[in-house]
Amino acid sequence: MKYSYYPGCTLKNKAQDLDKYARASAVALGFELEEIPEWQCCGGVYPLGSDEIATKLSSVRALNYAKEQGQDLITLCSACHHVLKRVNDDMKNVEDIKNRANNYCEFDEPYQGETKVLHFLEVIRDVIGFEELSKKVVNPLEGRKIGAYYGCLTLRPGKILDFDDPENPKIMEDFIRALGGEPVVYSMRNECCGGYTALKDPDFTKQRTEQIFDDSTGFGADCLITACPLCMYNLNKSEAKSKVPVYYFTELLAEALGVMEGA
Amino acid sequence: MQKIGVFVCHCGTNIAATVDVKKVVELVRYEPGVVFADDYMYMCSEAGQEKIIEAIKEYGLTGLVICSCSPRMHEKTFRACAEKAGLNPYMVEVANIREQCSWIHKDKEEATKKAVILARAAIAKVNLNTPLQEGESPVTKRALVIGGGIAGIQTALDIADAGYEVDIVEKEPSIGGRMSQFDKTFPTLDCASCILTPKMVEVNQHPNITLYTYSEVEKVSGYVGNFDVDIRKKARSVDFGKCTGCGECQTKGPLGKIGNIPSEFDRGLKNRPAIYMPFAQAVPAVPVIDRENCTYFKTGKCGVCAKICPSKAVDYEQQDEIVTVKYGAIVVATGFDIINLDKYGEYAYNECPDVITSIELERLMNAAGPTGGHLERMSDHKAPKEIVFIQCVGSRCDDDKGKPYCSKVCCMYTAKHAMLIKDHWPDTNITVFYIDVRTPGKNFDEFYRRAVEQYHVNYIKGQVGKVKPQPDGSIIVQAADLLDGKQINKKCDMVVLAAAIEPNPGVRKIATMLTASIDNNNFLTEAHAKLRPVESPTAGIFLSGMAQGPKDIPETVSQAGAAAVKVVGLLAKDKLKTNPCTAQCDTLLCNGCSTCANVCPYGAITYEDVQVNDHGLRETRRVAQVNVALCQGCGACTSACPSGAMDLQGFSNRQITTEVDAICR
């Protein structure tokens, strides 16, 4: 199975681990990631201005490219996933944005939200299946108590992202279980880490990340996993006493599949 | 040729503000058949009816068209008026120029045009009307009440006290319903059991009441005054005649008295054995065997209860039994449940045992409940010191997750819970998060204010975003204080959710059997929201209690009494007039294809072989026959019939096409 792959800027710099372990794991799991040529930055934040299309165009181009290849589009970074999925929803359902974006882009045929945007985790859940994944595990993460940290970007708004139940998600817990680890459920797992407020109000993110570490380690987590480079940044910056290591989910995946070396 | 009178009603300004009534009169005056046309402020009033009667006499009218409100509202009134003047009531047609015209349009010119068109259609129809005669049908003087909660109990008692026989069908092993699970009742705080159990006993002993517990309505046929109902009496596995209700059988099963099946009555907070009575005061005091969970029925081994029963009442061979009973009227009192909270992950109900629903709290506070009335956390059996109540969990929701309506009783029972807890354990702190506090009702607001002013319950206006169970066993409730504009993180050790109320899920099936209509939220619909609140639009079906909409106990009891009066009013009649607008089959056109019988919801169509003389061709044909006693005149057969043989009296195919022609003219 071949997928169009949209890595996004951060995965080429700070979050290279998220990218490289995903590529290695994909090979082990039997699917191919074809990086979209000349992709452009998604903007990092979904623009809420209803008359704003310029910052949506990079997503539209990537989505249209995948459509032309006849492939589903895979993302890894929570922020890119969030932006692409919401822009795709606009292109499907918001007449004004659809028309203006198409008038500007002048594709061979208008893009109307045909591409299916999948997060890497969704491919594992819905295409491969957790049962199949657990069969491919060579180094089960036995004895590891892992807290899934979802953050907010992959979950909300729930109806558009359609990723999992935003109030009580379980996809990452199922993922941890499939790798042989023990998922630790804690209530801060779907709360915001503070996101970009780190730039303006560092105290706030400090407080949020401390709550996340306190809560997860209180329930026994010895490490956290995330799919979001921004969450990773904020969590790493934390000076919480309860701080534990944070990994990209792809790193533990590659470890369990035994493909870390080649990555 | 008919001599038709047209009467256009102003309905005050309801119609006249949007429709030029005078102009309608002018424009329909010269329609074919019309000999008289006039308008009046309130046609339905005595003076208005007098006008109609005078015109009938003066002009020798043979047909009437009343341009007014919906025929659902006043068709009966105008038919009676025509009859008074000696006209056949079925020579009256109502053109609805209020609900279907003036109320929904703004432009007066357009609305007037439409009113004229609607009037023309009705005039065209009356030209083809023929006098119809109402038949008569007998009334079975027995009522059925579906549901044995407080609504059903009160309805049954009131009907029985009036001297009519009444049966209660209850699907649980005991009557009592939700009210039997409650601890105390607002606003007087008297004990629910103390006021309910005497009524349960009265029902059991009343000579006019027959109880079918552990039973369900399986099939309903017939019509008002003459319903045939199949009731499935599920096998109890315990002989009613022999059991003395000693309770011995419940104590010595495989797990003794404890059992391993979550008790439905205690909302899963306690277990029960497979042979059980839901609660000590159950009526009837005869246990049932839950065959799905019984070791004997699962493996063929055990049989302990049969061995220890001193009166040899346990009978594993018992089979379900179906009884068919005739009724004149049916009351639906199927009650409510609270919504499933799976979709509300933010409240951590499924994750944390110390997050409970209000009904669970009722059981925990009840002296006969799983903890003997000691309020404790289910996780560690410690008494909670800091309790948070969350209102409107799934009520007043603007998304498709919850219910759009107010569940009506939560504000009051939460104030009740708060005060009861403070009474017993004064050092407990209580916080209530609410959207609005709604306490309309006699002595209700005083009750709520007592909670705030005398008991110092902390009411905070704001919705809860998340309930966060903590590693140390406590719970943090994250909420917004809307009056203060701040986020709150309230630490507590127990959370109580006021989950939205919904009709008992079984009501859909019952409504379908009864052809009684239900709304988008599965509440049964009234015949008229204001003027006929305890009747279903389906004749002979009555509504009692929460099945019709959220309401508290005093309101339920009032409605139960009202439904009983309506039932008694029906049963007191010896004969009922039947609707003459029934289907008829033209045997010359019918080819016996069975299409009509397949679509008939009342089973009113049968087939028989008849000798026909079709233009000299004599032969035997299989043709449809309509049983006019069963036919309700819905018209399904007339539109389904491929050869046009089926026709509905009063709504003939010709009348309807003529109406359409008049509209399109």
Sole residue written with tokens 């979050």: A15
Q: CA–CA distance from B237 to each of A247, B204, B399 (Å)?
A: 60, 20, 46
Do the Cβ atoms of A168 and B471 come within 8 Å?
Answer: no
Domains of chain A as residue ranges with CATH: 2-120 (1.20.1050.140), 130-257 (3.40.50.1860)
Given this model, what pLDDT does residue B398 score?
84
Mutate to test the interface with A, among B344, B346, B347 (most CBs of A within 10 A): B346
Q: For residue B528, list its beta bridge partners.
A: B532
Distance from CA of B476 to the nearest CA of A (A): 10
At A52, the pLDDT band (50, 70, 90 cuts) reads: confident
B294/B270 Cα distance (integer angstroms): 17
Residue B617's Cβ-side half-sphere holds a number of Cα atoms within 13 Å equal to 5
In tens, the pLDDT along B541-586 reads 999 999 999 999 999 999 999 999 999 999 999 999 888 999 999 9
Considering only CA atoms, give the Rg of chain A: 18
- CATH annotation of B583-648: 3.30.70.3270
Asked whether the predicted pLDDT for residue B255 surpasses 70, the reply is: no
Query: Which band of pLDDT confidence, cut at 50, 70 and 90, is reported for residue B467?
Result: very high
Q: Rounded to a whole number, what is the distance in Å from the CA of B353 to chain A's nearest CA?
A: 15
* pLDDT of B256 above 70: no
Q: Is B348's CB within 8 Å of A218's CB? A: no
Report pLDDT for B258: 73
Contacting residues of B for A187, CB less than 8 Å apart: 348, 466-469, 476
Question: Would an 8 Å CB–CB cutoff place A158 in contact with chain B?
Answer: no
Alpha-carbon B398 to chain mean position: 24
Distance from CA of A129 to the nearest CA of B (A): 24
Average the pLDDT over A67-79 and give the result.
97
Q: Does B471 contact chain A (CB < 8 Å)? A: yes
Contact, B43 vs B136, CB < 8 A?
no
pLDDT at res. B253: 64
CA distance B105 to chain A (A): 30
Query: Can you say whether the dihedral through the CA atoms of A123, A128, A132, A138 is positive or negative?
Result: negative
Indicate whether A180 pLDDT > 80: yes
In this structure, CATH architecture of domain B142-234+320-335+504-571: 3-Layer(bba) Sandwich (3.50)
pLDDT band of B130, cuts 50, 70, 90: very high
- Cα of B478 to nearest chain A Cα, Å: 11
Interface test with chain B among A163, A168, A217, by most B beta carbons within 10 Å? A168
Of B217, B288, B204, B304, nearest to B252 (Cα)? B304
CB contact under 8 A, B345 and A165: yes
- Provide the pLDDT for residue B512: 94
Q: Is B73:B95 a contact under the CB 8 Å cutoff?
A: no
- How far is residue A96's CA from residue A51's CA, in Å, rounded to a whole number? 9
Q: Does B350 touch chain A (CB under 8 A)?
A: yes
Range of lowest pLDDT (A67-81, B244-258, B311-325, B612-626): B244-258
- Within 8 A of A188 by CB-CB distance, chain B residues are 468
Please tell me if residue B467 touches chain A, with a CB cutoff of 8 Å.
yes
Q: State how far the Cα of A113 lies from the Cα of B278, in Å rounded to an integer.
A: 56
Q: Which residues contact B620 (CB under 8 A, 6 or more apart)?
A: B609, B610, B611, B612
Q: CB-based contacts of A128: which residues, under 8 Å, 6+ apart?
A: A29, A30, A31
C-beta neighbour count of B310 within 10 angstroms: 10
CB contact under 8 A, A167 and B345: yes
Structural domain B337-502, CATH architecture: 3-Layer(bba) Sandwich (3.50)
Indicate the CATH number for domain B4-126: 3.40.50
- Which residues, including other chains, have CB under 8 Å from residue B379's CB and lie 6 or more apart? B352, B353, B354, B473
A78 sits in which H/E element? helix A78-93
Residue B6 has pLDDT above 80, yes or no: yes
B379 and chain A in contact, CB less than 8 A: no
pLDDT tens track for A77-109: 999 999 999 999 999 999 999 999 999 999 999
Considering only CB atoms, A187 lies closest to which of B343, B350, B468, namely B468
Domains B142-234+320-335+504-571 and B583-648 share a fold: no
CB within 8 Å: B469 and A187 = yes
Spatial contact of B65 and B93, defined as CB atoms under 8 Å apart: yes
Neighbouring-strand partners of residue B611: B620
| Gyration radius from chain B CA atoms | 31
Contact A188 B468 (CB under 8 A): yes
- Dump pLDDT digits (tens) for B62-80: 999 999 999 988 999 999 9
pLDDT at B254: 64
Please provide the DSSP assignment of B163-205 as one string: T-EEEEE-SSSSS-TGGGG-SEETTTTEEHHHHHHHHHHHHHH
Put simply, whether B497 touches A (Cβ < 8 Å) is: no
Contact: B346, A167; criterion CB under 8 Å = yes
Q: What is the pLDDT of residues B477-517, one digit of tens each?
A: 999 999 999 999 999 999 999 999 999 999 999 999 998 99
The CB density around residue B297, as the number of other CB atoms within 10 Å, is 15
Q: Long-range contacts made by residues A104-107, C-beta under 8 angstroms, separation at least 24?
A: A104/A53, A104/A57, A105/A57, A105/A60, A105/A61, A105/A64, A107/A64
Q: B412-454, pLDDT tens digit by residue? A: 999 999 999 999 999 999 999 999 999 999 999 999 999 999 9
Q: CB A191 to CB B466 under 8 A? A: yes
Domain segments of chain B as ranges: 4-126, 142-234+320-335+504-571, 248-308, 337-502, 583-648
Q: Is the pLDDT of residue B309 over 70?
A: yes
Inter-residue contact B295 to B195 (CB < 8 Å):
no
pLDDT averaged over chain B? 95
Does ipTM come in above 0.95? no
Q: What is the distance in angstroms between the Cα of A188 and the nearest Cα belonging to chain B?
A: 8
- DSSP H helices, B40-89, are 46-59, 71-84
How many other C-beta atoms can be found within 10 angstroms of the C-beta atom of residue A242? 15
**Per-residue confidence (pLDDT) for residue A151, from 0 to 100:** 95
